[in-house]
Structures are given as structure tokens and as C-alpha cells.
């Protein structure tokens, strides 16, 4: 399901009994409290990872006068991407079931609450999930909520997640304004992801960018950040030559 489908479906009431739940509640019980290993159900052996895993990527989202912008690179290291994809599928199924049962879509805040509830039992385990739910609904308007694998849930106007987020925040903090036009907001998001991928070894490849409003969502054509790097180097070289000429 596309990013905005998740963004717009958001707000589900929490289940109070296993009888009415699509997923048994014991499914969400982590396999082991030991963060260095996990035990398979009905097995006495413990499977240990042969080496530590490093997680990395760059994702961001922010709210401006024209809606919500969400952007991310397409490189993800180790198991972080797999965990996020699994929980995206679980969440997609749950909000779809909610829509079928109640004949209305789940709000963003409700979806974030549901996801936080499902992830909290995995606190302290090797599960690595950090999702930013973004979109628009009648209850909250433009909305941006961060949920991570320990069950934390934060709502704000700007978030960047991943190993490249410090570099992305550096660009966003310097250029983000409420009054940005759509083109300016898109340019800022591209710049933030590009700078992060250039400095962070765990981020890179392409950039995916989405614009979300009350009327729906749109996705820009995927762009190769390598080409952006060469364009940036060419621009800097041209600026230096012009500066030398003026002097």
C-alpha cells in the first residue's frame, strides 16, 4: 500500500478482547527478553546473531501551509527495513479490517495509538521499527506522528528518523517555514535527503517524495541522488569560477 494510504486511514480504537481481534494478543508478546538472542516458539534452542547489526537510513516529514511533505532515501541497512515492512503490513491489515467493520476510515491519531499499543510489548528486544505516520483527516487536519518500537508516540510538525537524520535536521532547521510554497517545500525535502545521503554511509541511492493534502496525495518521480551530487558539484564549481572572475 502506498504511503498516503497508510497516512489517511489512521485512527483505530484499541481492542479490548482477543475475541474481537484479528490478531491474537499473544502474537504481540516478544519471544525473549534477552536483546542479544531470541527463542523460537516450542524450541529449546536459542538462535544468536553471528555479528552485531547496524541500522541506517534517512526519512523525514514536515507540515507547511500547503500540506504535508514526506521523503526518504531508498537505502536501508541490515534488518531495520525488514522490521518496518512487516509492521507496515500488519498495520495496513488492521486499518483495512477496521474500515470494513465500522464503514469508516481510521484517523491518523488512532492508527498511531494502535501501532504504539502493538509495538510496546517488544520494548527491549531486537525489533527495530521507527515509523512516521503522516497525512490528513477530518479530526486532526494535517498530521505528523512518530512511533517507534518501544511504543513511544510523538506528534509534531517536523520529524526526521534514521542514521542520516542529524544531517537532514541541519537542512530543515535552516530552511523550514510555514509559508513555503509547494515547490519550495519539495526542494527543501530533496535537499535534506541529499545532504544526509552524502554524509551518512547508511543512506543513499534514490529519493522518494510524497505531497499530502486534504484532496489526496501525489508522489514525485523517483530521483537518483547520485545525479543530484554531480549537479551540486557542477554548481559549486561554476560559482567559484564566477567569484574568481569578479575578483
- From the first residue on, what is the mean pLDDT of each consecutive set of 10 residues in the chain (247 residues)? 41 39 46 45 55 78 97 79 88 95 93 94 86 89 93 94 93 95 94 90 90 94 82 84 85
The predicted structure's pLDDT at residue 25: 43
The grid coordinates of residue 62 equal: 514536515
Fold classified for 58-242: 3.60.20
Q: Identify the three-state secondary structure at position 132.
A: strand
Helix (H, G, I), strand (E, B) or coil at 112: helix
- 46 in active site: no
pLDDT score recorded for residue 24: 46
pLDDT at 11 (0 to 100): 41
What local confidence, expressed as pLDDT, does residue 76 receive?
Answer: 72
Catalytically annotated residue among 29, 45, 46, 57: 57
The pLDDT, as a whole number, for residue 79 is 67
107 neighbors 137 (Cβ within 8 angstroms): yes
The alpha carbon dihedral of 236, 237, 240, 242 has a sign of negative
Three-state SS string across 143-167, please?
EEEEEECCCCEEECCEEEECCCHHH
Q: Are 211 and 218 in contact (CB under 8 A)?
A: yes
Distance CA 104, CA 95 (A): 10
User: What does the block give as the cell for 15?
Assistant: 481492542
The cell for 44 is: 529449546
Q: Name residues whose C-beta falls within 8 Å of residue 146's C-beta, 6 or more positions apart in sequence.
A: 130, 131, 132, 133, 152, 153, 154, 155, 156, 159, 161
pLDDT at residue 78, rounded to an integer: 62
pLDDT at 167: 95
As to burial, measured by CB atoms within 10 angstroms (0-12 exposed, 13-18 middle, 19+ buried), residue 4 is: buried
Amino acid at each position: 500500500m502506498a504511503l498516503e494510504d497508510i497516512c489517511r486511514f489512521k485512527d483505530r480504537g484499541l481492542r479490548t478482547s482477543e475475541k474481537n481481534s484479528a490478531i491474537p494478543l499473544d502474537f504481540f508478546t516478544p519471544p525473549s527478553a534477552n536483546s542479544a538472542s531470541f527463542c523460537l516458539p516450542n524450541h529449546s534452542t536459542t538462535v544468536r546473531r553471528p555479528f552485531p547489526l547496524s541500522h541506517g537510513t534517512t526519512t523525514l516529514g514536515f507540515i507547511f501551509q500547503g500540506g504535508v511533505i514526506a521523503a526518504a532515501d531508498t537505502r536501508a541497512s541490515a534488518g531495520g527495513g525488514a522490521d518496518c515492512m512487516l509492521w507496515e503490513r500488519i498495520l495496513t491489515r488492521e486499518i483495512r479490517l477496521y474500515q470494513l467493520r465500522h464503514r469508516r476510515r481510521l484517523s491518523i491519531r488512532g492508527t498511531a495509538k494502535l501501532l504504539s499499543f502493538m509495538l510496546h510489548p517488544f520494548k527491549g528486544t531486537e525489533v527495530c521499527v521507527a515509523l512516521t505516520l503522516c497525512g490528513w483527516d477530518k479530526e486532526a487536519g494535517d498530521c505528523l506522528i512518530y512511533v517507534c518500537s518501544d511504543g513511544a508516540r510523538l506528534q509534531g510538525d517536523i520529524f526526521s528518523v534514521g542514521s542520516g537524520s542529524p544531517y537532514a535536521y541541519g537542512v530543515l532547521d535552516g530552511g523550514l517555514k510555514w509559508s513555503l510554497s509547494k515547490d519550495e517545500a519539495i526542494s527543501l525535502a530533496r535537499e535534506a535527503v541529499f545532504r544526509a545521503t552524502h554524509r551518512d554511509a547508511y543512506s543513499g541511492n534514490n529519493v522518494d517524495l510524497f505531497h499530502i493534502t486534504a484532496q489526496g496525495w501525489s508522489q514525485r518521480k523517483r530521483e537518483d541522488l547520485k545525479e543530484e551530487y554531480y549537479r551540486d558539484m557542477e554548481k559549486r564549481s561554476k560559482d567559484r569560477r564566477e567569484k574568481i572572475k569578479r575578483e
